[in-house]
């Protein structure tokens, strides 16, 4: 088995046993990137020299007998909305095309301290607004399971980089599904942690009350190991919680006996692709056969989630994106007075979806509309939280489909924003409630596309989700976790 085909946890073992060096590991992934990347375009910036430098430092420290983090020497790719000091960070936007952050995000500092070599910054929907990675100002990323389809978004580059073996681990960000939806469409495990569990310092803001950084990986164990690196309190983020961080790998093998599992009626809905519903229900049966207690649960406010989300997120975005005015950083279009410079810079610098959301948000926050739109949405958010609190009195984990359909075709929804928004319909209410939520592969469609199941727990119970996901990995029908990429010119890699 080639190094690039290994999971992060097996690479960690190989490195700790000194069977391979981190430089060898990094070189294997760099070769893989050279082969696959031209077909899928998952990266915006490649950092091979940085990765090799970190790897060789890790190697010499390890051979010197130092006790290192278990993931030391295991490479990672990071979504391009997470600030990296001295390294271009674009948010896949023309307005930040040449932006060089003067500081590292807290998660980047944590990765550096733990010794994970950075392979590059991954493609995304501009400012994390989108569900297909088609909204990148640079180029769309392609789904390796079918190059004519989208990988999901907005963390599509991170998902594709992991799924094709260009990196064993990646970080994404999830505002209303942007980790879980691409994880589902690419056949990966993707975790949105509890709001406040991971520091947002240095994550370029989209919607501050919803944004969370989280892992994408092949297995639950890999995500658990990465959570051990990134979770924790941070004085630089006033919304980061001080709750103690558990060892997320400690209970992975505990099984699902006595676990109370609620199937969310609204997320195995009749309008969904029947193959997805069937795959979810089959997985639920597997839980039941191994001692879990299963029942149905209704989250009646799910129908209002999309409406609340598409007022709250654009409102916060319109405020957060006010800072891009061509003065302190970013693109500047010029102009003979300050207002024409602001307006022209923003009009030319932002793409269509970002402008749409700024317009919705500005409208919803404008005089006379605030109470009816933003304030009402924040109150509906309270009602949604209550829905969840009631459900979590009866259940440990809530499950349903991650997405209503498998990966859709490139171009299929790009002209119809509302249809695009509906592809996140299962992901949004978890984000509004601030609860941890994970997507795990649960099957392959008849067309050969991955299907995902979403599992949700009450705040700070990420460990429970990872345990259930780990159980499924050990029990489910062996489905190949990685696609064979069919090349347009014939053959596959």
Partner 1 sequence: MAIDFSREVDYVARLARLTLEPAEKERMAGQLSDILDTARRIQELDTSAVEPTSHVVDMPAVLRDDQTRPSLILSRVLQNAPRRQKEYFRVPSIIRTDPD
Helix (H) or strand (E) holding 46: strand 43-46
User: CB-wise, 266 or 445, nearer to partner 1?
Assistant: 266
Residues belonging to the active site? 79, 154, 178
Measured from the CB of residue 318, what is the shortest distance to partner 1 in angstroms? 6
User: CB-wise, 269 or 378, nearer to partner 1?
Assistant: 378
Q: Token match 């005015």: residue? A: 325
- Given strand 437-444, what is the order of strands in its sheet? 43-46, 118-122, 76-79, 169-174, 212-217, 189-192, 437-444, 450-456, 397-401, 260-264, 293-297
Measured from the CB of residue 425, what is the shortest distance to partner 1 in angstroms? 11
Measured from the CB of residue 228, what is the shortest distance to partner 1 in angstroms? 20
User: CB-wise, 292 or 308, nearer to partner 1?
Assistant: 308
N- to C-terminal Cα separation, the chain: 15
Length of the chain: 493
Q: Which residues contact 285 (CB under 8 A, 6 or more apart)?
A: none
| DSSP line for 87-154 | B---TT-GGGTT---SS--HHHHHHHHHTPPEEEEE--SGGG--SSSTT-SS----BTTBTTB---SS
User: CB-wise, 382 or 474, nearer to partner 1?
Assistant: 382
What's the rounded Cα separation, in Å, for the pair 413 and 421?
Answer: 9
53: left (phi over 0), alpha (psi -120 to 50) or beta: alpha
Measured from the CB of residue 162, what is the shortest distance to partner 1 in angstroms? 28
Q: With H, G, I as helix, E, B as strand and everything else as coil, classify residue 216.
A: strand
Quickly count: other Cβ atoms within 10 Å of residue 67's Cβ.
7
Select from 187, 417, 204, 191 the least CA-distant residue to 306: 417
CA torsion angle 214 80 240 228 (round to 10): 40
User: CB-wise, 141 or 458, nearer to partner 1?
Assistant: 458
User: CB-wise, 231 or 364, nearer to partner 1?
Assistant: 364
Measured from the CB of residue 383, what is the shortest distance to partner 1 in angstroms? 6
User: CB-wise, 9 or 318, nearer to partner 1?
Assistant: 318
CB 345 within 8 A of CB 324: yes
Quickly count: other Cβ atoms within 10 Å of residue 219's Cβ.
23
Measured from the CB of residue 407, what is the shortest distance to partner 1 in angstroms? 24
- DSSP tag of 193: P
CB 26 within 8 A of CB 52: yes
Q: Are strands 293-297 and 260-264 parallel, antiparallel or unpaired?
A: parallel
């Amino acid at each position: 088995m080639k190094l690039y085909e290994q999971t992060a946890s097996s690479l960690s073992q190989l490195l700790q046993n000194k069977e391979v060096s981190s430089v060898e590991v990094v070189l294997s992934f760099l070769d893989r990137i050279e082969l696959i990347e031209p077909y899928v375009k998952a990266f915006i910036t490649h950092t091979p020299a940085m990765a090799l430098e970190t790897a060789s430092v890790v190697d010499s420290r390890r051979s010197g007998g130092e006790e290192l983090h278990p993931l030391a020497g295991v490479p990672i790719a990071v979504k391009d909305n997470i600030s990296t000091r001295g390294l271009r960070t674009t948010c896949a936007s023309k307005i930040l095309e040449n932006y060089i952050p003067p500081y590292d995000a807290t998660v980047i500092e944590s990765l550096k301290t733990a010794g994970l070599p950075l392979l590059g910054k991954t493609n995304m929907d501009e400012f994390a607004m989108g569900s297909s990675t088609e909204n990148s100002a640079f180029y769309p990323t392609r789904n390796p399971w079918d190059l004519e389809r989208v990988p999901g978004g907005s963390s599509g580059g991170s998902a594709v980089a992991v799924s094709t073996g260009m990196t064993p681990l990646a970080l994404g960000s999830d505002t209303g599904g942007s980790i879980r939806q691409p994880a589902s469409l690419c056949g990966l495990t993707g975790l949105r942690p509890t709001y406040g569990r991971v520091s947002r310092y240095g994550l370029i803001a989209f919607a501050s009350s919803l944004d969370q950084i989280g892992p994408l990986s092949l297995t639950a164990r890999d995500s658990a190991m990465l959570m051990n690196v990134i979770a924790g309190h941070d004085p630089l983020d006033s919304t980061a919680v001080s709750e103690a961080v558990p060892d997320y790998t400690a209970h992975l093998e505990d099984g699902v006996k006595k676990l109370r599992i609620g199937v969310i009626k609204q997320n195995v809905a009749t309008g969904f692709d029947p193959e997805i519903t069937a795959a979810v229900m089959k997985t639920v049966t597997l839980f039941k056969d191994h001692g879990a207690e299963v029942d149905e649960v209704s989250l009646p406010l799910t129908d209002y989630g999309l409406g609340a989300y598409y007022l709250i997120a654009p409102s916060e975005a319109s405020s957060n994106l006010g800072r891009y005015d061509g003065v302190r950083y970013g693109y500047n279009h010029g102009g003979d007075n300050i207002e024409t410079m602001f307006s022209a810079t923003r009009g030319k610098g932002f793409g269509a979806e970002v402008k749409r959301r700024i317009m919705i948000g500005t409208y919803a926050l404008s005089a006379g509309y605030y109470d009816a739109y933003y304030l009402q949405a924040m109150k509906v958010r309270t009602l949604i939280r209550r829905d969840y609190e009631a459900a979590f009195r009866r259940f440990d984990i809530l499950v349903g489909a991650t997405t209503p359909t498998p990966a859709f075709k490139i171009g299929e929804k790009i002209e119809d924003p509302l249809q695009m928004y509906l592809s996140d319909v299962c992901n949004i209410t978890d984000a509004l409630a601030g609860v941890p939520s994970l997507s795990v592969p649960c099957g392959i469609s008849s067309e050969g596309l991955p299907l995902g199941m979403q599992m949700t727990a009450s705040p700070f119970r990420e460990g429970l989700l990872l345990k259930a996901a780990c159980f499924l990995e050990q029990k489910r029908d062996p489905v190949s976790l990685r696609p064979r990429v069919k090349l347009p010119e014939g053959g596959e890699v």
